[in-house]
Amino acid sequence: MEKKIKVLVVDDSAVVRKVFKEELSKERDIEVIGTAPDPYVARDKIVQLKPDVLTLDIEMPRMDGITFLRKLMVYYPLPVIIVSSLTRGGSKLAMEALSLGALEVLSKPSESYSVGEMSLQLADKVRAVASVRVQARRGGTEEAPGKPIQAMERTTHKVIAIGASTGGTEALKTVLTTLPPNAPGLLVVQHMPAQFTTSFAERLNELSAMTVREAKDGDSLVNGLALIAPGNYHLLLRRSGARYSAEVKKGPLVHHQRPSVDVLFHSVAAHAGRNAVGVILTGMGADGAAGLLKMREAGARTVAQDEKSCIVFGMPREAIRVGAAEKVVPLDQVARTLLELISEDSAESRQGQ
């Protein structure tokens, strides 16, 4: 008999605890072994029941979720999925939780977000994080961002497209905080619910030498600017003459995702071709593999994060399997590698003139 993933639900709302338990119990490979209304009860149940995955509310009585998470990551690290409200305050706290070691974020069901949609995403996220070995953090502190690479000697008309999912918020922080202030324009798809991407972009903007913000339809893509796909919208590249711009639109889910990495990569292949670099980072599933292959076939340079540095190797593994990745490198070498590829192409272009 297949071993089930053991889940502990921590939330002060009895309704949320009931809904999560009912929905997850429908999955043949998942078992909700307990629930807790606050961190004090959760602490005892973690020791007693030894769950594989914890779902954690942020705003709770007696002890808030951030404080509990900080302690948990020091003394009993395990995969945590943050469950947060769609408020601006809730999304900011969710970003802080991800920086402290939580692996995924999920929005609570609301009038605009049904229990059915939530349950599908929750089950997928539980499966994605269940096998992750979470490292203990000394003092539960956030890891400091890296120092940016020196500014590029020449500006280019290149485009960088990056896709990520589970574990991607911290991976993207590593890449973007390492890039110089005049790096080529970036388009980024991170699988994340609506409302949370605004806070995510703001956090990256505070830490990065580049300007980082949530993409708006029609935004020009210029050097020194990184545009993050808004949650629940696809992000595409468009070209008019020498001008690149972003297209933000609704559309069907692709690989159960909106935004989808494949949608972005296919558009970059079509409109930038050899003027692009594609990067696929940590994440579950296969989103981005076909699009990255299309980019490589169109002449773009392509990079995948290596297995050892991934939280979840699914997306990079699939890209490597289909031959989409020209380079496979550790996370801390991704920024330098993509800049080297851009420099190589620029040198070849000058020689060919």
Task: For residue 41, give the H/E element and its range.
Answer: helix 39-49
Q: Is residue 38 among the annotated active site residues?
A: no
Residue 220 has phi, psi (to 5 degrees) of -75, 140
Q: How far is CA 124 from the centre of its chain?
A: 14
When computed from its CA atoms, the radius of gyration of the chain, rounded to whole angstroms, is 20
Instruction: Name the residue among 73, 57, 1, 75 with its Cα closest to residue 31.
Output: 1
Beta-bridge partner residues of 190: 164
Which of these is catalytic: 38, 219, 287, 345?
287
Q: Is residue 266 among the annotated active site residues?
A: no
Strands 234-240 and 243-249: antiparallel
> In the 8-state DSSP scheme, what is residue 69?
H
Q: What SS3 class is residue 165?
A: coil
> In the 8-state DSSP scheme, what is residue 257?
B
Which of these is catalytic: 191, 255, 266, 271?
191
Report how far residue 77's alpha carbon sits from residue 316's, in angstroms, rounded to the nearest whole number.
25
Instruction: Name the residue among 48, 115, 102, 45 with its Cα closest to residue 70.
Output: 102
DSSP E strand boundaries for 1-155: 5-10, 30-36, 53-57, 80-84, 104-107
Q: Is residue 165 among the annotated active site residues?
A: yes
Report how far residue 320's alpha carbon sits from residue 303's, in angstroms, rounded to the nearest whole number.
9
Contacts of 348 (CB under 8 A, 6+ apart): none
8, 54 Cβ separation under 8 angstroms: yes
> In the 8-state DSSP scheme, what is residue 141?
P
Cis bond before residue 37 (omega within 30° of 0): no
Which of these is catalytic: 165, 245, 260, 267?
165
200, 190 Cβ separation under 8 angstroms: yes
128, 166 Cβ separation under 8 angstroms: yes
User: Which residue numbers are catalytic?
Assistant: 165, 191, 287
